[in-house]
Amino acid sequence: MSATAELAGAQPAATPVGRRPRLLVRSLRTPGGAVGAGLSLLLVAAGLLAPLLAPTDPFAVDGPPLTAPSGAYPFGTDALGRDLLSGVIYGARTSLIVAASVAAMVIVIGTTVGLWAGYFGGWVDDALMRITELFQVLPRFFMALVVIAFFGPGLDRLVLLLGVTSWPLLARVIRVEVLALRHREFVEAARVHGASRTRILLREILPNALPPGIALLGLVVAQVILIEASLGFLGLGDPNVTSWGTLASEAQRFLRVAWWLSLFPGLAILLAVLGLNLLGDAVTDALTGRR
Amino acid sequence: MRAAGATPLLSVRDLVVEFHARSGVVRAVDGIDLDVHPGETLGVVGESGSGKTVSMLAAVGLLPAAPYCTVRGQVLLNGRDLLTLSTRDLRALRGREIGMIFQDPMTSLHPSFRVVDQVAEALLVHDSALADRQARTRALELLERVGVARPDRRVRDYPHQWSGGMRQRAMIAIAIANDPPLLIADEPTTALDVTIQAQILDVLRRARDELGAAAVLITHDLGVVAELADRVSVLQSGRVVESATVEEVFAAPRHPHTITLLDALPRLDRPLAERRPVAEAPPVLEVEDVAVHYANPGGGVVRAVDGVSLSLLPGETLGLVGESGCGKSTLARTIVRLVDPQAGRVRFGGRDITRARGRALRGVRRALAMVFQDPYASLNPRMTVGEIVAAPLRIAGCYRSSGGRRRVAELLDMVRLDPASADRLPSDFSGGQRQRVGIARALALSPRVLVLDEPVSSLDVSIQAQVVGLLDQLQRELGLTYLFISHDLSLVRQISDRVAVMYLGKIVELGTREQVYERPTHPYTQSLLAAVPSPHPERRSSRTLLVGEVADPTDPPSGCRFRTRCAKAAPECAEEVPALVVREGSDHPSACHFASTAPPGSPAGTSGSTPDAG
């Protein structure tokens, strides 16, 4: 910076004053954010790479029943001699499938409803928000029980149900953001240049409205994982896949003789939910200090 | 100058403030010395980032704690070193011995407590023996002292019911509540209109004189300093570069930075550069009898713009001046078709665009661009500067044909920004640089007319001068036509060919720059001109201040809308709406029954009616 502020016409091309780290970098810098991101990444890696990581097929009888954790069976084996480590890794896959599919549905429905309600306002807003409230008051867990009671257990119907009922929070957050953004000067600038409604919504408003929604999504997904595990624990999980909830449920009978059967699936649930919550919180914190 | 030679009330010695960021240590204040003697006012002047606010916050212990920031040096108040005091002692001292007034009156009052109670709290905090009732009575007295009319009628009011000027008065009442010997005012008028600024400066002056208090006035505006300060310290990059009496600084500044700041100050008394004559041609933009009304959520109809006609000739700059809330921004937004008027027409290049849609509207959008007020809100924070500047090109579908990245680089170069910064986000830029980005975006489609809505109001005075200079140069190079909206009269004078003065939805005076500034005939224009801080400390104003604030636009006064604040108001003003016509003895239109070049309040003014302090 030169000593005197030159008057216009004379000054050279000005360069930016500094570079602020991007949102993701800022949220990962906090201890909570780093741990949260690490745990979430672990969940995703375990889920995606389950066939490579797991020593055996989770349903395959692999050794002596109820073996305590050891070098050959790090997490021990269950009553049928199945390797628990493989079970927990494949359980991550189940959790990931449910979490990712529900998250995708929540993003699509929640963002669309939030954008429309916030941008158009008036009766569109009223109608959409009443519908949102309707879905928000549905007891998700009992709905899940009812659906499984009618149609039998299965991941597909569970994902569908949770996806259709988990979006209201996201829609509300996005709507509020859009309400605050739609009269901001940069949106008006786009309007002055003749930008179409689609461009304004997708290019100008959405990228600014989405981050708080994404932060919230971590929390929504953590709940979804809990619900899936809870259903498994009640014996209502999909019998064709391994789930942490199912593992924990089966472990109950051996609580006194095989502590590892309860500990490892429980720990997996705890860490996955904790990780997603920490990550969501860290992103929220980074966003709050954004301006 | 008041006290000289005596021991200073506040004495800052070798103050150093360092912020510890991840990227390293930032030294915001780099060893400054300041002295404030009893009863004296010290002006601390500098640009944003010069360390003026940080040094004062450090002095009263309002900076974040140790790991984030370190403060070294000595701050003696009446011989006690404030930097060594405990938090508890400091708290007892703030408010009692130091009264503080902050910049933004909109955020410095608590939104969910009544104003009166907040003033009373300032008393109760320091005097536990005081009864609530007494405190409230005293709070009402204080509010009356700072010029709040009939505070007893506003006991139940919350801050949101008060205007910015009123809230700043309340802040001053809080600051003077305990008769502190020292007042610190940090940019107390930066967020306010000139007229309100003049009122607030007046209140500050009176409060200071009644208390006999010393004051520190922190500001980037030397005009404000000239009005109020006895001595001035000029700060640059955390150091004091010049310290002298206010008369010396204005008469014979020594440091180059002081000279730069003085040069940047727009002033009414400086001879103006001749503007190029505007070619005879049909107007490029015409506004005919436009009215914009909208429903007020609280009931009633806001008549934001109420019958305005203007025309812009190709290549000229029309300055549009008025206080906040006079409708000038709404008019700008109507012209660029962000708002639809209830009545009237906007013609562009002879064609009516008031109801244009589709293809016709897109054509207008290419030729008519806008620069917005707030450089922090007008750029999408998630788009790079290159994307922002390219947006109009992409929207118009001519990004490729216009040269793509080459065109973006050219535009950035045009506004003197490094073309290599196209990949950066707006958050990497300063306010002045961001406003340049906004200008580059407006220029992207090579428009003929730019509507500039307070383009420099949120910038430092020295940065304002740079941006205005840039706009002036671009106008000459590109043959642009400007509608330049501002509440700052001295700024408008620099850049305009013609000037329109707006009050409460109507144009009250219209003429060439010389006509409006040298021979103003409307009392409102005259008051506005009188409110501009004069950079002549030796001639402090004995001027008549404009009383009150802009009237309620949902229920404007009958007849002449300005009559409630006008020194010339007569009975007929309440009955007949004055037309904007050229009156006898004048050479340009003015909407006043008593239009004359005699200033209001002078003996030449017609009728002896007193100003209505409503």
Q: Is A114 helix (H, G, I), strand (E, B) or coil?
A: helix
- CB neighbours of B371 closer than 8 A, spacing ≥ 6? B435, B438, B439, B442, B450, B451, B452, B453, B455
C-alpha distances in Å from residue B521, one per residue of B41, B133, B307, B493: 36, 49, 21, 16
Residue A18 confidence (pLDDT): 56
Mutate to test the interface with A, among B416, B472, B473 (most CBs of A within 10 A): B416
pLDDT of residue A15: 61
pLDDT score of B601: 54
d(CA B431, CA B459): 7
Structure tokens at B50: 């010069």
- Alpha-carbon gap, residue A230 to A237, rounded angstroms: 9
| pLDDT for position B123 | 92
Q: What is the CATH number of domain A3-287?
A: 1.10.3720.10
Which residues on chain B are in Cβ contact (under 8 Å) with A4?
256-257, 260
| Burial classification of residue A75, based on how many CB atoms lie within 10 Å of its CB (0-12 exposed, 13-18 middle, 19 or more buried) | buried
CB B180 within 8 A of CB B93: no
User: How many angstroms away from the CA of B153 is the closest CA of chain A?
Assistant: 34
B91 touching A, CB under 8 A?
no
Checking if the pLDDT of B380 tops 50, the result is yes
For residue B178, pLDDT over 80 is answered with yes
As given in the structure block, the two tokens for residue A134 are 């309707």
Find tokens 């000289």 and name the residue. B4
pLDDT at B448 over 80: yes
Nearest CA in chain A to B426: A16
Q: Does B423 touch chain A (CB under 8 A)?
A: no
pLDDT in the model for residue B547? 75
* Separation of alpha carbons A84 and A261, rounded Å: 7
CB A40 within 8 A of CB A92: no
CA–CA gap between residue B70 and residue A270 (Å, rounded): 41
On whether any CB of chain A is under 8 Å from the CB of B418, the answer is: yes
Adjacent-strand bridge partners of B235: B240
pLDDT over 90 percentage in chain A: 51
Q: What is the pLDDT of residue A17?
A: 57
Token pair in block for residue B155:
């006991």
> What is the three-class DSSP state of A56?
coil
Q: What is the tens place of the pLDDT at every residue in B51-77?
A: 888 888 888 888 777 677 888 898 999
A289 at interface of B, judged by CB pairs closer than 8 A = no
Nearest-CA distance A111 → chain B (Å):
18
Q: What is the pLDDT of residue B472?
A: 92
Res. A7 pLDDT band, cuts 50 70 90: very low
CA distance A12 to chain B (A): 6
Dump the DSSP string for A3-45: SS-PPTTTPPPB--S--PPPHHHHHHHSHHHHHHHHHHHHHHH
What are the Cα distances from residue A104, in Å, to A109, A165, A202, A214, A275? 9, 13, 17, 11, 19
Among A192, A199, A200, which would you mutate to test the B interface (most chain B Cβ atoms within 10 Å of its Cβ)? A192
Q: What is the DSSP string of B563-611?
A: GGG-TT--HHHHHSPPP-EE-TT-SSEE--TT--SSPTTSTTSSS-PPP
Contact (CB<8Å) A189/B438? yes
DSSP single-letter state for residue B79? T
**Residues of chain A contacting residue B427, judged by C-beta atoms under 8 Å apart:** 20
Quick check: A193 and B395 CB within 8 A? yes
Give the tens place of pLDDT for each residue, B335-352. 999 989 999 999 998 889
Checking B398-407 for CB contacts under 8 A at 24+ apart, the result is: B398/B445, B407/B444
Query: Helix (H) and strand (E) counts for chain B?
Result: 19, 22
Residue with tokens 């979490």: A99
Tell me if chain B has a CB within 8 Å of the CB of A2. no
Q: Give the one of A6, A13, A193 whose C-beta lies nearest to B417's C-beta.
A: A13
Residue B537 has pLDDT above 80, yes or no: no
Which chain B positions have a beta carbon within 8 Å of A186's beta carbon?
A: 377-380, 388
Query: What is the structure's pLDDT at B165?
Result: 83
**Predicted confidence (pLDDT) at residue B120 exceeds the cutoff of 90:** yes
Q: Which of B333, B380, B428 sits opposite A204 (nearest CB)?
A: B380
Element (H, E) at B89: helix B87-93
Give the integer Cα–Cα distance in Å for B498 and A267. 75
- Tell me what pLDDT residue B346 has: 94
Q: Which chain A residues contact residue B438 at CB under 8 A?
A: 189
Confidence of residue A90 (pLDDT cuts 50, 70, 90): very high
Answer yes or no: do B416 and A11 touch at CB < 8 A.
Answer: yes
Contact yes or no for B6/B12 (Cβ under 8 A): no
- Chain A: nearest CA to B6, how far in angstroms? 35
Q: Partners of B453 in the beta sheet? A: B485
User: For residue range B149-168, what is the model confidence (pLDDT) as tens digits?
Assistant: 788 888 888 988 888 888 88
pLDDT higher than threshold 90 for residue A171: yes
Q: How far is A212 from chain B (nearest CA, A)?
A: 14
Average confidence (pLDDT) over B202-211:
86
What is d(CA A144, CA A132) in angstroms, rounded to the nearest whole number? Answer: 19
Identity of the residue numbered B283: P
Angle at the Cα of B88 from the Cα atoms of B85 and B90, rounded to 5 degrees: 50
| 187-206 in chain A: CB under 8 A from chain B | 188-196, 199, 203-204
Which residue in the set B377, B418, B467 is minimally distant from A13, CB to CB? B418
Which pLDDT belongs to residue B66? Answer: 67
**Is the Cβ pair A8, B469 closer than 8 Å?**
yes
DSSP B520: -
| pLDDT at B2 exceeding the cut of 80 | no
Mean pLDDT, rounded, for A270-291:
81
pLDDT digits (tens, 9 = 90+) for B309-330: 999 999 999 999 988 888 899 9
Region B464-487 average pLDDT: 92
More confident of the two residues B264 and A27? B264
A4 to chain B: closest CA residue: B257
What is the overall mean pLDDT for chain B? 87
Apex B485 CA angle, B484 and B488, nearest 5? 110
Work out the percent of chain A whose per-residue pLDDT is above 70. 91
Tens-digit pLDDT profile for residues B387-410 = 999 999 999 989 999 888 999 999
Average pLDDT over residues A87-94: 93
- Report the residue of chain A nearest B332, measured CA to CA: A192
